[in-house]
């Protein structure tokens, strides 16, 4: 008999975080998170999202064995300020048993109904910088530190339980050699001269920090019109700076400023940590940190994590300036393959931005919704 238990202690929360380690122990494609980082994500004293969000966590048991988990989330900025009556859920993992998935989702639905919400959608995180989507194509490709991996049977559970597709995301890749400099070097000079733009490159994380808040402000401006967007707050900025900047090579962060020294574009690329995280197996000590540092220095694969361009400068060739800078950096570092994080299918501007690199779609993921 399947029973559902709400997480109510530190011990329960650790079980919640570590359940996927047993579920995916035989998968060569699953990338484990750092356990401490996951625990901090759910810590109300450490993650500022809880100033604007509430969350409940549930574990499914078959006897004494854990067979599933789910996080139920209400983002109050989304519900109260944007008037989107959505019940979120994420960190949803389960064995191939519909009773397990149904009982977990029923808990989310109960909370949503109790709070007067209209529908539930997932898997999603607390904000736009969290992981998103259930994988529906590309199961034979290794995951990443910024996406969820799941078994192929997950999608059928959503459909069998009456959920319908809400949003679709695509993940693309292309060899770094596809970045023919002829595509952007000439345009780079023209655009910089026409709009009075200058590029900013960095050699240390300390140099980046004074501009990080301005970058998050630009991120909010860039994506504010997308249907799934929830703005990043001031307290979240500080949290994300601390959480992510140390993982990013400073030379992989590119800023573009206008003649008035205003930031009008940015891009962040991360080295691939997938194989290093598999070796670390959830722990930084004693050896996990060395695997991560080695990947940061030597990885020949990179992931385009974030890119933002002020609405006034979109479709004006600013990407040529960004790509020109990355071309020089990638050539120096010997980068071989470029990957892109999940991008909304409806984001036509992003598709146009990358078309000259002949990207290949190698993964698709979706969120699913159901009325309450």
Q: What integer pLDDT is reported at residue 54 of this predicted model?
A: 96
Q: Is the dihedral of CA 119, 123, 126, 128 positive or negative?
A: negative
Q: Identify the residue whose tokens are 């750092």.
A: 34
Q: What integer pLDDT is reported at residue 227 of this predicted model?
A: 61
Q: Are residues 260 and 310 in the same domain?
A: yes
Q: Are residues 20 and 110 in the same domain?
A: yes
Q: How long is the chain?
A: 372
- What would the DSSP string read from start to end of 262-299? -EEEEEEEEE--HHHHHHHTT--TTTHHHHHHHHHHH-
Is residue 368 domain-resident?
Answer: no
Is residue 319 domain-resident?
Answer: yes
Q: What integer pLDDT is reported at residue 239 of this predicted model?
A: 81
Q: Are residues 161 and 185 in the same domain?
A: no
| Assigned token pair, 300 | 């020949």
Q: Are residues 131 and 254 in the same domain?
A: no
Highest mean pLDDT among 215-219, 222-226, 335-339, 346-350 belongs to: 335-339
Please give the Cα distance from 107 to 123 (Å, whole number). Answer: 14
Residue 263 DSSP symbol: E
pLDDT in tens, 84-101: 999 999 999 999 999 999
Is residue 367 domain-resident?
Answer: no
Is residue 366 domain-resident?
Answer: no
Is residue 370 domain-resident?
Answer: no
Strand partners of residue 340: 304
Q: What integer pLDDT is reported at residue 194 of this predicted model?
A: 93
Q: Are residues 214 and 302 in the same domain?
A: yes
Residue 342 DSSP symbol: -
pLDDT mean over 122-130: 89
Dihedrals phi, psi of 345, to nearest 5 degrees: -55, -30
Q: Is the dihedral of CA 217, 223, 226, 232 positive or negative?
A: negative
Residue-averaged pLDDT of the chain: 92
Reduced to 3 states, what is the DSSP secondary structure of residue 38?
helix
Count Cβ atoms below 10 Å from residue 327 Cβ, excluding itself: 19
**Residue that is last in its domain, among 111, 136, 168:** 168
Query: How would you classify the pairing of strands 86-94 and 65-75?
Result: antiparallel
Q: Are residues 52 and 129 in the same domain?
A: yes
Residue 136: name the closest of 125, 148, 144, 145 by CA. 148
pLDDT in tens, 162-211: 999 999 999 999 998 887 788 788 888 899 999 999 999 999 988 988 88
Residue 366: name the closest of 120, 101, 123 by CA. 123
| Domain carrying residue 324 | 175-361
Number of domains in the chain: 2
Q: What integer pLDDT is reported at residue 120 of this predicted model?
A: 98
CATH code: domain of residue 293: 3.40.630.30
For residues 326 and 201, the answer to whether their CB atoms sit within 8 Å is no
Is residue 293 domain-resident?
Answer: yes
Q: Are residues 302 and 271 in the same domain?
A: yes
Q: Are residues 201 and 90 in the same domain?
A: no
pLDDT in tens, 325-355: 999 999 999 999 999 999 988 877 777 778 7
Q: Is the pLDDT of residue 291 over 70?
A: yes
**Residue that is last in its domain, among 133, 153, 168:** 168
| Assigned token pair, 13 | 């929360």
Q: Are residues 111 and 224 in the same domain?
A: no
**Residue that is last in its domain, among 168, 189, 221:** 168
Q: Are residues 241 and 321 in the same domain?
A: yes
Q: What integer pLDDT is reported at residue 348 of this predicted model?
A: 75
Q: What integer pLDDT is reported at residue 98 of this predicted model?
A: 97
Q: Is the pLDDT of residue 13 over 90?
A: yes
Q: What integer pLDDT is reported at residue 242 of this predicted model?
A: 75
- What would the DSSP string read from start to end of 164-220? EEEEEEEEEEEEGGG--GGGTHHHHHHHHHHHT-EEE--SSHHHHHHHHHHHHHHHH
Q: Are residues 112 and 240 in the same domain?
A: no
Q: Are residues 104 and 190 in the same domain?
A: no
Residue 66 DSSP symbol: E
Q: How many CA atoms lie within 13 A of 99 on its CB side?
A: 8
Reduced to 3 states, what is the DSSP secondary structure of residue 162?
coil
Q: Is the pLDDT of residue 228 over 70?
A: no
Q: How many CA atoms lie within 13 A of 168 on its CB side?
A: 12
Q: How far is CA 21 from CA 14, 15, 324, in A?
A: 11, 10, 41
Is residue 25 domain-resident?
Answer: yes
């Amino acid at each position: 008999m399947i029973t559902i238990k709400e997480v109510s202690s530190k011990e329960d929360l650790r079980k919640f975080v570590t359940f996927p380690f047993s579920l995916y122990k035989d998968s060569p494609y699953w990338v484990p998170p750092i356990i401490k980082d996951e625990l901090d994500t759910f810590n109300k004293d450490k993650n500022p999202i809880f100033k604007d969000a509430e969350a409940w966590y549930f574990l499914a048991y078959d006897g004494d064995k854990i067979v599933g988990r789910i996080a139920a989330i209400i983002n109050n900025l989304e519900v109260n300020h944007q008037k989107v009556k959505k019940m979120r859920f994420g960190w949803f993992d389960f064995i191939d048993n519909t009773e397990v998935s149904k009982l977990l989702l029923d808990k989310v639905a109960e909370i949503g109904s109790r709070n007067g919400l209209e529908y539930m959608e997932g898997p999603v995180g607390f904000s736009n910088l969290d992981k998103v989507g259930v994988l529906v194509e590309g199961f034979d490709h290794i995951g990443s530190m910024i996406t969820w991996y799941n078994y192929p049977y997950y999608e059928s559970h959503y459909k069998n339980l009456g959920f319908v597709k809400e949003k679709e995301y695509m993940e693309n890749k292309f060899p770094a050699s596809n970045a023919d400099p002829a595509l952007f070097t000439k345009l780079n000079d023209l655009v910089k001269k026409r709009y009075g733009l200058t590029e900013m490159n960095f050699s240390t994380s300390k140099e980046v920090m004074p501009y990080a808040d301005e970058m998050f402000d630009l991120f909010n401006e860039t994506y504010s019109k997308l249907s799934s967007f929830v703005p990043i707050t001031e307290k979240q900025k500080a949290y994300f700076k601390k959480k992510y900047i140390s993982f990013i090579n400073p030379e992989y962060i590119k800023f573009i400023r206008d003649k008035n020294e205003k930031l009008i574009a940015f891009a962040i690329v991360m080295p691939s940590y997938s194989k290093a995280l598999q070796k670390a197996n959830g722990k930084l000590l004693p050896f996990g940190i060395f695997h991560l540092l080695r990947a940061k220095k030597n990885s020949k694969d990179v992931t385009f994590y974030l890119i933002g361009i002020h609405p006034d400068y979109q479709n004006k060739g600013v990407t040529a300036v960004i790509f020109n800078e990355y071309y020089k950096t990638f050539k120096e570092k010997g980068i071989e393959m470029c990957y892109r994080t999940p991008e909304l299918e409806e984001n036509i501007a992003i598709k146009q931005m990358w078309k000259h690199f002949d990207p290949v779609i190698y993964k698709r993921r979706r969120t699913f919704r159901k009325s309450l």
